């Protein structure tokens, strides 16, 4: 999978680049976030992501309709979209939009 970020803060976290200001997430959440993104990146297809029950891959409703989510842990989820790039080989592109606390 190809991973791209719409959220510059999350992109910096993933790439281990310095971020300014007070951290938005604790160290444990950041490590789980990176692990989840790496797993998404290594997946061969959306079908493989859907089949892994631990991610709780789902379409969102309400104000986030049109987005999908996967679980990072019990509280946090990644908000994302999936696009396909046409070409000789169709590549699925996952765009990470946000990491939020599902229960706040």
Write the pLDDT tens digit of every residue in 7-22.
999 999 999 999 888 8
Of 91 and 102, which is predicted with more confidence? Answer: 102
* Residue in the block written with tokens 């997946």: 43
Of 10 and 44, which is predicted with more confidence? Answer: 10
Over 90: is that where the pLDDT of 33 sits?
yes
pLDDT of residue 46: 85
Check: CATH 3.30.2310.20 for 2-101? yes
pLDDT of residue 84: 66
The residue among 90, 100, 36 whose CA lies nearest residue 67 is 100
Distances, alpha carbon 58 to alpha carbons 16, 55, 66, 68, 82, in Å: 28, 9, 11, 6, 12
Please give the Cα distance from 45 to 13 (Å, whole number): 25
- Which residue ranges make up each domain of the chain? 2-101
pTM for the model stands at 0.86
Res. 104 pLDDT band, cuts 50 70 90: low
Please give the Cα distance from 6 to 80 (Å, whole number): 9
């Amino acid at each position: 999978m190809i991973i791209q970020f719409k959220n510059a803060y999350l992109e910096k976290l993933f790439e281990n680049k310095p971020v300014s200001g007070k951290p938005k997430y604790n160290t444990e959440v950041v490590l789980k976030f990176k692990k989840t993104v790496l797993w998404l990146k290594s997946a061969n297809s959306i079908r493989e992501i859907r089949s892994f029950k631990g991610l709780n891959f789902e379409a969102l409703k309400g104000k986030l309709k049109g987005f999908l989510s996967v679980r990072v842990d019990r509280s946090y989820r990644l908000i994302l979209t999936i696009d396909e790039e046409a070409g000789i080989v169709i590549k699925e592109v996952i765009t990470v939009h946000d990491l939020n606390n599902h229960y706040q």
